[in-house]
Chains A and B, each alone.
Chain A
Amino acid sequence: MSAEATEAAHTVASRVSARIDRIFASVDEQGRAIAHWLAAHPSPSVAELDRVVGDLVIEHLQPTSLVTGAGFVVAPGLLRDAHWHLAWWLGGHTALRRLTTSDDPQSEDFRDYTALEWFRYPERTGSRHLTGPYVDYLCTDDYTITVTAPVMVAGRMAGVVGADALVDRLENALLPELRTMAGRATLVAASGRVLVSTDARVQPGSMLRIAGLGDALLPLRAAGSAAVDHLLPDGGRVVSCGATSLALVTET
């Protein structure tokens, strides 16, 4: 790969990362505000929490924003009047509304969200995590990526703060950046799942199967913020996009 091509890959990777970093930054900021409030108000009620979280996230759910859902999901035991709760708002292209979910474990609709990737990973690793792309049947009901970060209060995880972005909007936002590359450029998650590609035959949601890619992505699977710059046996290149856990795969 020529020096220009290498430079181009790094430029595109950093542009992608800048887009996603804006979502990360607002999630981190909301997390700090919620942690600060919870430190002063231990074991609040559902209504009290909803009011505070609603005020924080609603301004980020503008029709033009990439973010289409945002909120805070409690660790069981945090609230005094509910064991499970998602203080989550949906907006962006649709009318703003609060997500309603079943909090009754006996109900058929109930899902133990602590087992889902967007809750489980931040809980296990103590750090921010990007889930997806995946079909988010709990919140957006659409093809989504979700960014979540743990909110720590007095050494314990009180819940996760997060934001959703729809893959079709990300495609519109990121494809022009990818198209500045010569050859095929594909943005994948740490799992190897395709988010968007300049090649129309590479389907979003499919696994990109290229020799050596799985091994190249291993550091990103271990820690989303890992830096990867890896040459593939067939001449392709894998470059991590900042601390997003996404990777740009370029093939000549």
Chain B
Amino acid sequence: MPHSTDGGDHARSVVFAPIEPAGRAELVEQRLTDAIVSGMLRDGERLPSESELARSLGVALVTAREALEGMRNRGLVRTRRGRDGGSFVTYDRDAAGALARERLRRQSRVALRDLALIVSAVTGLAAELAADRASDDDIETLEAIHHSADLSSADSARRALGRFLFELAAVSQSPRLLHEEARLQAEAGPVLWLCLREEEYRERSSRVRADIIDAIRAVDPDGARTSMRGFIADALDWLLEEKARLDCIPDDGGEHEVDASTTADTAREGMENER
């Protein structure tokens, strides 16, 4: 039975694969960059020291140093020497917008689909389990998050969505699912929720929260899962269209001329977000 033998060999090779993949500095850099782009780490915020960073991420000191170096080169952090020294986030909304676009261009469609798929699997299951396992208090908590959501900017709408999805995973009663949700929010959130720049999608994110709460109240696991996965499918569709649009723009620095209207839109939105 060649298939089962192959499967067994594959599983064995996974068991004995190196635990520490190459390119750890890039992984660290990507994670911190995502956190800055998404606004999770704020402008002027002091990052942990190189040694603290190395310890908390479980990487070598030299890896943490390399990642910080890369971020310094891209203008995302600034390092000051001396008593009050350290690395500080320099968050520039235009730079952050450009980074999110850059990541979207760099990632293939197949990678984006795969990212949306795992988010759909995890959050869909969280919604399904929550509908079966929520207590009255849990429903109250989810409603409080829903009602306090601020849809006025992309950042605030993303925070509200992240907070809701996190609580939904907590209500599922599975510590592992909650860990995975938190990890995915950090990895996929900055890209997948780019659609929240548009008001229509901010409204949709609010409607999907209301639908999921209704399904939970009705103990309707299928309904909760379907609503959740529908929203992720919409977010992915938006992302693929946005990518197609960005892919049409030449990558030779001529973007500003060709795409003057979009740049103006982004700047205007940035100003609105500040308010």
Contact = CB atoms under 8 A, between A and B. Distances in A.
B40 A191 contact: no
A193 interface: yes
A193 B174 CA distance: 13
Specify which of B133, B135, B170 lies most central, judged by the most chain A CB atoms within 10 Å of its CB: B135
A184 B82 CA distance: 67
B135 A191 contact: yes
B173 interface: yes
Contact of B135 (A115, A135, A137, A207): A207
A207 B133 contact: yes
A68 B144 CA distance: 30
4 cross-chain pairs, A with B, having the tightest CB-CB distances, nearest first: A205-B173, A191-B135, A135-B170, A108-B40
A198 B159 CA distance: 41
Nearest to B45: A107
Main secondary structure on B side of the interface with A: helix
B200 interface: no
Contact of B137 (A108, A117, A142, A207): A117
Interface residues of B, number: 21
Interface in B154-211: 159, 166, 169-170, 172-175, 178-179, 182
Interface string A135-163: 10100011100000000000000000000
A94 interface: no
Size class of the A contact interface (CB-based, 8 Å): 10 to 19
Contacts of B132: 206-207
B42 interface: yes
15 contacts: A106-B42, A117-B137, A135-B170, A135-B175, A135-B178, A137-B166, A137-B170, A137-B182, A143-B173, A192-B135, A193-B173, A205-B173, A206-B133, A206-B173, A207-B132
Contacts of A92: none
B175 A143 contact: yes
Contacts of B20: none
A133 B178 contact: no
Contacts of B144: 115
A134 interface: yes
A135 B171 CA distance: 8
A221 to B, nearest CB: 9
Contact of B136 (A108, A141, A191, A205): A191
A136 to B, nearest CB: 9
Interface of A: 106, 108, 115, 117, 133-135, 137, 141-143, 191-193, 204-207
Contacts of A115: 141, 144
Interface in B129-145: 132-137, 141, 144
B136 A142 contact: no
B162 to A, nearest CB: 8
A191 B159 contact: no
A193 B134 CA distance: 9
Contacts of A141: 175, 179
B219 to A, nearest CB: 8
A4 B187 CA distance: 58
Contact of A193 (B133, B141, B179): B133
B170 A134 contact: yes
A134 B132 CA distance: 14
Contacts of B134: 207
A135 B178 CA distance: 8
Specify which of A108, A115, A191, A206 lies most central, judged by the most chain B CB atoms within 10 Å of its CB: A108
B44 to A, nearest CB: 11
Nearest to A117: B137
A36 B134 CA distance: 39
A115 B147 CA distance: 14
Interface string B102-142: 00000000000000000000000000000011111100010
Contact of B159 (A108, A137, A204, A207): A108
A141 B169 CA distance: 13
A204 B133 CA distance: 10
Given A115-B144, A135-B169, 9 more contacts: A106-B42, A134-B170, A137-B178, A137-B182, A143-B175, A191-B135, A193-B135, A207-B133, A207-B135
